[in-house]
Chains A and B, each alone.
Chain A
Amino acid sequence: MDKPLLEIEDLSFSYKQIIALESVSLTINQGEIVSLIGANGAGKTTLLRTISGLNVHKKGKIIFNKEDISQTESDYRVRAKIAQVPEGRGLFPILSVEQNLRLGAYTRNDNEIEKDLEFIYNKFPILQEKKDEYAGTLSGGQQQMVAVGRALMIRPKLLLLDEPSMGLAPIIVEEIFSVIKELRDLGTTIFVVEQNAFLALKSSDRAYVLENGKVVISGKSADLLDDERVKEAYLGA
Chain B
Amino acid sequence: MAELFAFLLSGVTVGFIYALVGLGFTVIYNSSGIINFSQGEFVMAGGMSAVFLMYAGVPLGFAFILAIISVSVIGIILYKLLSISKDSSHISLIILTLGFAIFLRGLAQVIFDKQLHTMPSFVGDGSFEIFGAILSYQSLLVIVVSLIIVISLYLFFKRTKTGQAMVAASVNVDAARLMGINIKKILVLNFAISAVIASIGGILLTPITSTNYEVGIMLGLKGFSAAIIGGLGNPWGAVAGGLLLGILESLVAGYISSEYKDAVAFVVLLAILFFMPGGIFGNLKAQRV
Are A and B physically bound partners? yes
Q: Contacts of A84 on B, CB cut-off 8 Å?
A: 178
Report the separation of the CA atoms of residues A84 and B175 in the bound assembly, to the nearest whole angstrom.
Answer: 9
Report the separation of the CA atoms of residues A150 and B176 in the bound assembly, to the nearest whole angstrom.
Answer: 11
Q: A95-B164, A106-B161, A106-B165 are in contact. Are A154 and B175 (CB under 8 A)?
A: no
Interface residues of A (CB under 8 A from B): 49, 52-54, 73-75, 78-79, 83-84, 86, 90-95, 99, 102-104, 106-107, 134, 136, 150-151, 154
Report whether A78 and B168 are in contact in the complex, using a CB–CB cutoff of 8 Å. no
B114 within 8 A of A: no
Report whether B168 and A95 are in contact in the complex, using a CB–CB cutoff of 8 Å. yes
Nearest to A87 among chain B residues (CB) is: B174
Partner of B175, one of A91, A94, A99, A102: A91
B88 within 8 A of A: no
Q: Contacts of A93 on B, CB cut-off 8 Å?
A: 171, 285-286
Report the separation of the CA atoms of residues A86 and B178 in the bound assembly, to the nearest whole angstrom.
Answer: 8
Q: Contacts of A94 on B, CB cut-off 8 Å?
A: 167, 171, 285-286, 288-289
Q: Contacts of A49 on B, CB cut-off 8 Å?
A: 174
Q: A106-B161, A136-B286 are in contact. Are A92 and B178 (CB under 8 A)?
A: no
Report whether A90 and B174 are in contact in the complex, using a CB–CB cutoff of 8 Å. yes
Give the 7 A-B residue pairs with the shortest CB-CB distance, closest first. Answer: A78-B180, A90-B175, A107-B180, A74-B177, A75-B182, A75-B180, A106-B179
Q: Contacts of B164 on A, CB cut-off 8 Å?
A: 95, 99, 102-103
Report whether B180 and A74 are in contact in the complex, using a CB–CB cutoff of 8 Å. yes
Offer 23 A-B interface pairs, CB within 8 angstroms, sorted by A.
A52-B177, A52-B178, A74-B177, A74-B180, A75-B182, A78-B179, A83-B178, A84-B178, A86-B174, A91-B172, A92-B168, A92-B171, A92-B172, A94-B286, A94-B289, A95-B164, A99-B164, A103-B164, A103-B179, A106-B165, A106-B179, A106-B180, A154-B180
Nearest to B177 among chain A residues (CB) is: A74
Report the separation of the CA atoms of residues A94 and B175 in the bound assembly, to the nearest whole angstrom.
Answer: 13
Most chain A CB neighbours (cut-off 10 Å) among B174, B178, B179, B180: B178
Nearest to B286 among chain A residues (CB) is: A94
Shortest Cβ gap from A142 to chain B (Å):
17
Report whether B165 and A95 are in contact in the complex, using a CB–CB cutoff of 8 Å. no
Instruction: Kindly supply a per-residue 1/0 record for chain B positions 21-41, scoring 1 wherever the CB is within 8 Å of any chain A CB and 0 otherwise.
Output: 000000000000000000000
Q: Contacts of B180 on A, CB cut-off 8 Å?
A: 74-75, 78-79, 106-107, 154
Chain B: interface residue total (CB-CB under 8 A): 20
Q: Contacts of B133 on A, CB cut-off 8 Å?
A: none
Report whether A103 and B171 are in contact in the complex, using a CB–CB cutoff of 8 Å. no
Partner of A75, one of B175, B177, B286: B177
Report the separation of the CA atoms of residues A102 and B165 in the bound assembly, to the nearest whole angstrom.
Answer: 10
Given contacts A95-B168, A103-B179, A107-B179, 8 further A-B contacts (CB under 8 A): A54-B177, A54-B178, A90-B174, A90-B175, A94-B285, A95-B167, A103-B181, A154-B179
Shortest Cβ gap from A146 to chain B (Å):
11
Q: Contacts of B161 on A, CB cut-off 8 Å?
A: 102, 106
Q: Which residues of B in the span 122-163 have a Cβ within 8 Å of any Cβ on A?
A: 161
Report whether B288 and A78 are in contact in the complex, using a CB–CB cutoff of 8 Å. no
